[in-house]
Amino acid sequence: MRILMVGFGNVGQKIVELLSKPDRIKILSDLTPVFTGIFTASHGAVVAEKGLSPLTCLEYFRGNNGFTPTLPYYYPGDIIDAIDTLSYDVLVEVSTLSITDRGEPALSYTEQALKHGKHVVLANKGPVAFGYKRLMTLARTQAVKLLYESTVMDGTPVFSLARNGLTGCSVTGVTGILNSTTNYVLDGLRGGKSHDEVIQEAQIIGVAEADPRYDLDGWDCAAKLTILANTLMGSDLTPMNISREEFRTVTPEMIRRAKSSGEYIRQVGSAWREKGRLKAQVAFRRFPAEDPFAFVRGTSSALRIETDCMCPQMIFQENPGLKDTAYGVINDLMTIVRSGFE
């Protein structure tokens, strides 16, 4: 399987590492990954039709903080040209979501690859959050796979479960704690830390970005909720359509009151149907200590799925790391192999 990868941050690097050391994961023998190109937005790109040596690329990239023109396989061209002209079977898009650019440029990359009859695997939420219906229609027309397991709850097989384990069910509602940064900060505040203190701490251990507003103000949760609602409940939302409470609505007084009554405040994304219309929101809610959502701690996430076939089902993941996200992408690649990839 020839892979063209866009994005070579933590997730991309971890994927290369896991795929190159197959003792770490039992890769399906038919997968035989060959990287024909690795692209970044601002740290250069490398291309080799016959396959790059991924571990050498990784080492170079880390040592030089990017790919530089001195490299023999350095590629100076545009990503979109590469997607149009290079040899590959699957586009793996693992760069970060841009809300302000409404999922671009990853959305265009995905669309272009699908048009060329290539499979696409995404860890980047942008394309499915901003163009799900259009992209899925295109994938069906082209008879290729568009998979995105890692976009919600990392490798936890949410979408795999929905595709295979809920056949015939209508999903009537989803509720989830989907952003670990916010959860981490809320628990820090509850523990008596100041806002600045807990954010700084979260940044140091790598849970929060330099600008944490994207997480705290619910954009990440809204993007994930959009993907869940669009793929499981047949809606056609974008994160812009989702009502979203910003972090400043959580006052120190609210934190104190919740603590004194033994409750926990959580940022919750939920989607449900009301009089036939789909509603979706990201809001801060209080849960009693004995509610499953109350003890989603650390970087853990949880998702509750309601259907018309069964009682509510809930999935927890306990403190995922980079390996979980990378595994989600690899599991998608293996799904492509098992679907009869040649």
- Residues near a copy of itself, by CB under 8 A: 25-28, 154-157, 160-161, 163-170, 289-292, 294-295, 308-321, 323-324, 327, 330-331, 334-335, 338
Closer of 29 and 100 to a copy of itself (Cβ): 29
Shortest Cβ 231–a copy of itself spacing (Å): 15
Phi-psi map region of 276: left, alpha, beta (phi>0 left; psi -120 to 50 alpha): left
Cα 278 to chain center, whole Å?
A: 23
Closer of 284 and 293 to a copy of itself (Cβ): 293
Q: What is d(CA 339, CA 317) in angstroms, rounded to the nearest whole number?
A: 27
Shortest Cβ 232–a copy of itself spacing (Å): 14
> In this structure, how many other beta carbons lie within 10 angstroms of the beta carbon of residue 73?
17
Closer of 252 and 288 to a copy of itself (Cβ): 288
Contacts by residues 22-31 (CB-CB < 8 Å, ≥ 24 positions apart): 25/327, 25/330, 27/330, 27/334, 28/334, 28/337, 28/338, 30/337, 30/341, 31/1, 31/333, 31/334, 31/337
Instruction: Return the closest-CA partner of residue 329 out of 4, 12, 6, 10.
Output: 12
Closer of 98 and 183 to a copy of itself (Cβ): 183
Shortest Cβ 256–a copy of itself spacing (Å): 20
Instruction: Look at strands 243-244 and 277-288 and give their pairing.
Output: parallel
Shortest Cβ 168–a copy of itself spacing (Å): 4
Closer of 92 and 242 to a copy of itself (Cβ): 92
**DSSP-H helix ranges across the chain:** 10-20, 54-64, 79-85, 106-115, 126-142, 158-165, 180-190, 195-204, 213-216, 219-233, 252-260, 322-338
Shortest Cβ 223–a copy of itself spacing (Å): 21
Closer of 11 and 107 to a copy of itself (Cβ): 11
Shortest Cβ 236–a copy of itself spacing (Å): 20
Closer of 83 and 329 to a copy of itself (Cβ): 329
Q: What is d(CA 264, CA 255) in angstroms, rounded to the nearest whole number?
A: 8
Shortest Cβ 1–a copy of itself spacing (Å): 14
Which burial class, exposed, middle or buried, applies to 51 when counting CB atoms under 10 A from its CB (0-12, 13-18, 19+)? middle
